[in-house]
Structure 1
């Protein structure tokens, strides 16, 4: 006989400086993902705007601020624009493999280059090999690492130029964290290509969505997330189509108690 499903306990972090909007404070509500129902819980929480980090699911719960909005791409409706088609052609030669969630030194060195180039003062800048291994391997749900490598003539593994830690949920792929080489390597636009590859990969698997995490209006770092149309945002009435050029931003996401 299986153990009954237990409603999770939620906790709230202490306020800390917001990494996206200067002068504001962030706070998160979170719960632990463990046990045989961790995948089901992660799926349910993902549908109301939670994200996974290792064995924790979290969502912003900031006092007086609702700037962070959950977004997901509707895969069947996605049609790449001219710039996106160009990127798909440019990187079509890459070798792409979904690997088991096992950290490698090659991945870690790519992450170090990525953080140094793009986020030198960010919260992950001091990550060591152990921290990275925890980020990849401490997953109680169905996770994998998608690797993007340069092509070779002999079929061997080419140079690793991109990677994405990805969860497969019941209704889509959730891109937990992606990192890649910069434009100076001749592989410009890799981050955008990785997102499109996930959209096409999910669509081929019959999964309707790709979850991109949070979009923050007014944050240049998050602007790229609305380039993939059609896109949906999570508001007080659930998920709805969104045009960031025309629509107002939803006031807030559904409350946690709606899981009851």
Structure 2
């Protein structure tokens, strides 16, 4: 694969990792395919990789490449066609006083403290709840691409931080963490809806939401957002609603 920006070509090489314990499905071994470039990834190349089912974690751009399992299905939300359901509309209206600030990745103590509290509440025992500052910085602040942090505040108090990567055709929703002691606020739902509205404003079509995994509750909520598309055999297809819906994330 290669990308070209301002007349310059960028070449990408791929390698497969050793197998490791799957983070999403019990008693499963996983393997990843990692994309390597000889320099920082330009937007065109990165956008191509995302369209081919890759994701980013820190400096690594990867996609599932497991020996026997194909449970991870890349999905993207079509921004211009999005029509919120009644619950989603209520959540959006409830957060109408949210203050939003889009900034470059920066080290802020309040971000890290919110991240720690979120991990300890939502992912206790999963390993990420023990992340120190170096792990947090490597995971969310180091990036070889066009990355932004979106701060959401109420009355000046930080409630949500969302990490997004800008693409030729939209954005990749890398990770979001938020105030864990207000489950009724449904900050996760609100954040996805904000990303959709943002793309509608700048005229780009897709929010790439990562992977949908049928037997992983933490991931399958994504089917609640429509119209959704899924990547199968290298082609993006419309997601029929009949294939299943899932509870909204809090």
What TM-score, normalized by structure 1, do the two folds share?
A: 0.86
Counterpart residue number, 2:195:
198
Q: 1:47 aligns with which of 47, 51, 60?
A: 51
For the 8 Å contact 1:30–1:56, the answer to whether it is kept is yes
* 2:157 alignment partner in structure 1: 159
User: In the superposition, relative to structure 1, how do residues 134 and 33 fare at CA in structure 2: closer, same or farther (>3 Å)?
Assistant: farther
2:185 partner SS: coil
Q: What is the aligned length?
A: 239
In 2: Cα distance, 1:147 partner to 1:109 partner: 14
Structure 1: where are the runs of 5+ without partners? 152-157, 248-260
1:73 lines up with 2:73 in the alignment: no
CA contact (8 A) 2:151 2:160 kept: yes
Instruction: Report what 1:134 is aligned to.
Output: 138
SS in 2 for 1:20: coil
| Aligned-residue offset at 1:125 | 2.1
8 A Cα contact 1:33 1:55, kept in partner:
no
Unaligned runs of 5+ in 2: 1-5, 245-250
Residue 170, structure 1, aligned to residue 174, structure 2: no
Q: Is the 8 A contact 1:33 1:56 kept in 2?
A: no
Q: Distance in 2 between matches of 1:33 and 1:127?
A: 28
How far off its partner does 1:32 sit?
A: 2.7
1:210-256 per-residue CA deviation (whole Å, 9 max, x = no partner) reads: 00000101111112111110000001151010125338xxxxxxxxx
RMSD: 1.8
Q: Which moved more, 1:44-53 or 1:29-38?
A: 29-38
Question: Relative to structure 2, which stretch is displaced further, 67-76 or 40-49?
Answer: 40-49
Higher percent of residues as strand = 2
Residues 136-145 or 207-216, more deviating: 136-145
2: CA distance, partners of 1:6 / 1:191: 35
| Residues 3 and 171 of structure 1, relative CA distance in 2, 3 Å threshold | closer
**Equivalents in 2 of 1:237, 1:223: separation in Å?**
21
